[in-house]
Each structure stands twice: as C-alpha cells, then as structure tokens.
A and B are shown apart, each in its own frame.
Chain A
Amino acid sequence: MAVPRYWREIPARYNLIGNKCTVCGNIYFPPRAICPICRRKSFGKMVDYKLKGTGVVESYTIIHVPPPHFEGEEPYIMALIKLDEGPYITAQIVDCDEKDVHIGMRVKATFRRIMDDGEKGAIYYGYKFIKE
C-alpha cells in the first residue's frame, strides 16, 4: 500500500476521530465530507469529533478464509459494532474466545497492529475491539 494512502487515514484509525455535522449534530464514522441529511448546508461545516470507542456488538462472524494480508491469523472474529455515539463500525474483536462473542456484547476500542507489507514493508496500525 502506498504510504500517503495509509497516512491520510491515521487520525481516524489511530484515535477514532470521526466528524460531526454542526448543522444537525449527527456524528459520523468514518468521517464524511458531506452530511447526508443536511447535504450542501453541511459542506465546510463538518468538524472533527473524537469517539469514546465504546459500543455494542450488533452482529459478528468468524473468518476462516482470510484475505492475503491476514493469512495465518484465522480464525478471527470480525464484528459490526454500534458505537455509543450512533455510528456503526466494522472491526476485529480480539482477546475474546470465539465461543464467548455474542450479539449485545459490550466492547471497547484498543490500538493494535492490523497488518504489514511483509518483512521489509510498512506495518499498519489501527483499532480493534476487546470486551469492555
């Protein structure tokens, strides 16, 4: 992956910084350029918003056939999480037995290594979730 493409998303991926529409007050993650409710009225009026990183599992799966960068890590849990501020997020759940994960489980964000570009390549970091 080219470095600028990774670097641009660092604030959101490291610190869960989404954004907020100052017109209607809705909060978004990942950050959006335009609020889908206020549209043109929101353009230029979206401000950074730090999410607490806590939420609840709405659905989950256990990945047994991973994409190339995740080979060797399977099986791992991926979940659809509803953050307490409203937005939904797709993330891995770690430090949790696959038999324990369930819909309705409270989780919180943690900073982890996501993947790398091989031994000599960059290492990519970001959020994963653990049991609250």
Chain B
Amino acid sequence: MRDVAVIGIGMTKFGELWERSFRELVAEAGIEAIIDAGIEGKDIDAMYIGGMSSGGFVQQEHVAPLAIEVAGLEDFHIPSTRVEGACASGGMAVHQGYIAVASGIHDIVLVGGAEKMTDVVGTEATNVLASAADREWEAFFGMTFPGLYALMARYHMHKYGTTPEQLASVAVKNHYNGSMNPKAQFNRRISIEDVLASPMVADPLHLLDCSPITDGAAAAILAPVEIAKKYTDKIVKIIASTQASDTISLHSRKRFDALPAAIHAAKNAYKQAGIEPKDIDLAEVHDCFTIAEIMAIEDLGFFERGKGGKATEEGLTSLNGEIPINTSGGLKSKGHPVGATGVAQINEIVSQLRGEAKERQVKDAEIGLTHNVGGSGGTAVVHILEVV
C-alpha cells in the first residue's frame, strides 16, 4: 500500500443555482481542482464521481463519461466510474480513489461529487431523497427522510435528556461558521429562537434543524505521496480511509441512539491512522439534521454517549472550542448537494490543514477528520487527513 495525498481541491458555490446546469457544475469543480493541483487534465489516470440520483433529479444517468466529456478528456479514454451511496456517494468516491492510488493501480486520480437538486419541485426532491430509505417498508407507509432522523432525535431526547435548544445550537453554530464561507448556501447567522420558531418539518425537527436542497459540485485530486512532492511542498496525507455499512432501514438496526456504521468506520479509521479521537484537531461531520451532528460527535468518540447536545450548547464544538466541528458551515449552512457533500468535506479539511481557511481558520490545525453518512445510516465513510 502506498501513502496517498490530496494535491488539489475545487468546488463550486453551493446554493439554488437555477441558471447553472449539472454539466457546468461538474466542469467548474473539476477544473478548479486540476488548477489547484498544478497538473494537467492529461495527467489524470482515472475518475470516480459520486452522485446519488442524477436520474431522479435531472433524468441523466451514466454521468461518469459525461464528466469526462465536460472536462474535454475523451481522447485519453481513461476509466471513469460513478459511485452511489445516497448522501455518502461523495465520500465513497474519495474512498474508491484512495484504494486505486494506494494499491498502485492508478497514480493521479480525480474524485468528485455533484448533485443538481433544484431542477425538480420540492415534493419531488423529497421523494427522490426518500429512495435513500427503505422504499417498501419505510417510505411506502408515509415515512420521510427528516422523519427518520426525527425518530432518532426523539429517542435520543428520551434516553439522554437532549433538548430542542441543544439541537438548535448545532444549527446556530453551523450558520455562524457558514457566514464566513463565501461558497456556503446561507451566509445568514441565526439564533436559537429562530430555529425553535421555524415551522415543524418532522417533530421535533424544525425547518432550521434540516439541511437544505442544494445544487453544487466538488472535486479533489489524489496522488501517491512520492508523486505529490513534485507538485506541492505542503502535503496533506490521507492517513485513514474507511467505509462501513448497516441495514438500509432504521427499524432493522440494533440501536437508534447512534449510527453503528459510523461507529465502525470511525473505529477502523483510528486504527488505520494509529491515533485516538483526542488527536483530531477539527472535523467536518454529516449534519444533514441537527440530531445527526450530535450523534456524529458521539459516534466519533469526541464526546461521551448522550453528552453531544450539552457539549454543543457549551460551545465545545465552536470555531474556538475544544474540537471545532463543521467549520465550513456543515451541510446545514454550506448546503447539501448530496453527491458532492463528502468531497466538499475533504475540500474544507484540506484548506484548513494548509492554513488557507481565512476567517474560519482553526489555529495550528494538523489533523482533520471527515464523516459522511448515506441514508439514515446504511453507509458511513470516514477519512482522516494530516498535513506533513
């Protein structure tokens, strides 16, 4: 196995980009990453593109060669593969790219993710997203995606005393961080009262407990560390890349107060990197709903089970806290173009580790983690990156 580095990152602005097409978004994120890496398109040996449902959102499948075409790379006939794992598709593309480079099969690999979600109306977007749940035994009976996380939220509140205010404090923090991210969908700061006064989506989750519907794309260039040295002095190494699975349905899981797939992926990642949770300087976690961030910081071992809400409320996960979580604004404020999210998380950690995060820079950040979840927890992907 070879050591793998991220040598380039790129992403579009996230938001409701009605004037821009799926193709344009893919091209922009890819080109930005290629330029950032200092490579040329012809240097790329393979591509892995994460996307949940281009079929459902823009009626276009087979998007891996489409990405080749928009990049103008068809004459090189390199392999291009689409990777799907609902909202974890982007993280899975990074994981596949990592495996390809680490194994020695490919040298320079572009990993990306894209989703164009606003070409359908809101209820249809909800319907497409519901296919990440169990269609026959959850969605058929009227269950929605926010509804599944609401079940976990209520369970967590009942078991540990987590409060609506603690849930809201996740959204408040992430909007604060996102207000300093020019690529975020929302730059508006909000208060606990704003969250609690926003309409209910799935009780106890309010509108402002939920991540939005977003258009956007993100990309990264991976290379073996030996080759990376030719392109950059500041090498950000992937010291762990893990993926884990569980049942697609929530009701078939062993527990409802955590995501066992995320616990498993995290445990293996710490083992692979040879570090412990306390060694992590900052993390981008999958806050598709506020309760998801609270479970994530517990699943990742940053806080004791049941203490995540209190820790957030006390500011331990704020930008200047003990362990800053979602400095980018997270899915909540930066936006959640589902297939792009896992790659956008890598973008944020790399820019933090390079010291390029400007206003939201975490001081002396050396080791960062990303946590990307598919569905209600059927898939989880964890990456740990270190600047060397």
A contact set with B: CB distance below 8 Å: 9, 30, 58-71, 73, 75-76, 78-80, 87-92, 98, 103, 114-115, 124, 126, 128
Query: In the complex, what distance in Å separates the CA atom of A61 from the CA atom of B201?
Result: 10
Q: Are A59 and B256 in contact (CB under 8 A)?
A: yes
Q: Which of B156-200 contact A (CB under 8 A)?
A: 158, 199-200
Query: In the complex, what distance in Å separates the CA atom of A66 from the CA atom of B176?
Result: 30
Query: In the complex, what distance in Å separates the CA atom of A60 from the CA atom of B143?
Result: 11
Can you report 19 A-B residue pairs in the complex whose CB atoms are below 8 A from each other?
A61-B147, A62-B200, A62-B202, A63-B144, A64-B199, A65-B144, A67-B127, A67-B142, A68-B126, A68-B127, A69-B142, A80-B151, A90-B138, A91-B141, A92-B141, A103-B158, A114-B142, A115-B140, A126-B141
Query: In the complex, what distance in Å separates the CA atom of A58 from the CA atom of B156?
Result: 11
**A63-B158 contact, Cβ under 8 Å, with A58-B256, A90-B143:** no
Query: Which A residue's beta carbon lies closest to that of B150?
Result: A61
Tell me which of B140, B203, B252, B256 contacts A61 (CB under 8 A). B203
Query: In the complex, what distance in Å separates the CA atom of A70 from the CA atom of B150?
Result: 18
Tell me which of A30, A73, A78 contacts B136 (CB under 8 A). A30
Q: Are B201 and A90 in contact (CB under 8 A)?
A: no
Query: In the complex, what distance in Å separates the CA atom of A91 from the CA atom of B138?
Result: 8
Query: In the complex, what distance in Å separates the CA atom of A67 from the CA atom of B200?
Result: 15
Q: Are A63 and B251 in contact (CB under 8 A)?
A: no
Chain A residues contacting B76 (CB-CB under 8 Å) are none
Q: How many A-B residue pairs have CB under 8 A?
A: 100
Query: In the complex, what distance in Å separates the CA atom of A60 from the CA atom of B249?
Result: 15
B123 contacts chain A at the CB level, 8 A cutoff: yes
**A66-B144 contact, Cβ under 8 Å, with A30-B136, A80-B250, A88-B252:** yes
Query: In the complex, what distance in Å separates the CA atom of A58 from the CA atom of B202?
Result: 16
Q: Are B142 and A66 in contact (CB under 8 A)?
A: yes
Tell me which of A73, A79, A90 contacts B249 (CB under 8 A). A90
How far is the CB of A24 from the nearest CB of chain B, in Å? 16
Chain A residues contacting B137 (CB-CB under 8 Å) are 30, 89-90
Q: Which of B127-152 contact A (CB under 8 A)?
A: 127, 130, 136-144, 146-147, 150-152
Tell me which of A60, A64, A76, A87 contacts B142 (CB under 8 A). A76
Query: In the complex, what distance in Å separates the CA atom of A79 from the CA atom of B123?
Result: 22
Q: Are B136 and A9 in contact (CB under 8 A)?
A: yes
Q: Which secondary structure dominates chain A's binding surface?
A: strand
Chain B residues contacting A124 (CB-CB under 8 Å) are 140
Give 16 A-B pairs besides A65-B201, A103-B155 with Cβ atoms closer than 8 angstroms: A30-B136, A61-B202, A61-B203, A61-B204, A62-B200, A63-B144, A67-B130, A67-B142, A71-B123, A80-B151, A80-B250, A88-B251, A90-B137, A90-B249, A115-B142, A126-B141
Query: In the complex, what distance in Å separates the CA atom of A79 from the CA atom of B147?
Result: 9
Chain B residues contacting A115 (CB-CB under 8 Å) are 140, 142
Tell me which of A65, A98, A103 contacts B126 (CB under 8 A). A65
Chain A residues contacting B74 (CB-CB under 8 Å) are none
B124 contacts chain A at the CB level, 8 A cutoff: yes
Query: In the complex, what distance in Å separates the CA atom of A64 from the CA atom of B199?
Result: 9
Query: Which B residue's beta carbon lies closest to that of A103?
Result: B158
Tell me which of A9, A63, A128 contacts B202 (CB under 8 A). A63
B154 contacts chain A at the CB level, 8 A cutoff: yes
Chain B residues contacting A58 (CB-CB under 8 Å) are 155, 256
How far is the CB of A126 from the nearest CB of chain B, in Å? 7
Query: Which A residue's beta carbon lies closest to that of B142?
Result: A70
Query: Which A residue's beta carbon lies closest to that of B203?
Result: A62
Q: Are B123 and A90 in contact (CB under 8 A)?
A: no
Contact with A along B230-246 (1 / 0, CB 8 A): 00000000000000000
Query: Which B residue's beta carbon lies closest to that of A102?
Result: B158
Q: Are B256 and A126 in contact (CB under 8 A)?
A: no
Query: In the complex, what distance in Å separates the CA atom of A114 from the CA atom of B139?
Result: 11
Q: Are A64 and B251 in contact (CB under 8 A)?
A: no
How far is the CB of B163 from the nearest CB of chain A, in Å? 16
Query: In the complex, what distance in Å separates the CA atom of A9 from the CA atom of B139?
Result: 14
What 3 pairs across the A-B complex have the smallest Cβ distances? Answer: A61-B150, A62-B203, A88-B251
Chain A residues contacting B151 (CB-CB under 8 Å) are 59-61, 78-80
Query: In the complex, what distance in Å separates the CA atom of A77 from the CA atom of B130?
Result: 17
How far is the CB of B291 from the nearest CB of chain A, in Å? 11
Q: Are A67 and B144 in contact (CB under 8 A)?
A: yes
Query: In the complex, what distance in Å separates the CA atom of A44 from the CA atom of B142?
Result: 32
Q: Which of B84-131 contact A (CB under 8 A)?
A: 123-124, 126-127, 130
Query: In the complex, what distance in Å separates the CA atom of A58 from the CA atom of B249?
Result: 15
Q: Are B123 and A68 in contact (CB under 8 A)?
A: yes
Q: Are B140 and A80 in contact (CB under 8 A)?
A: no
How far is the CB of A23 from the nearest CB of chain B, in Å? 19
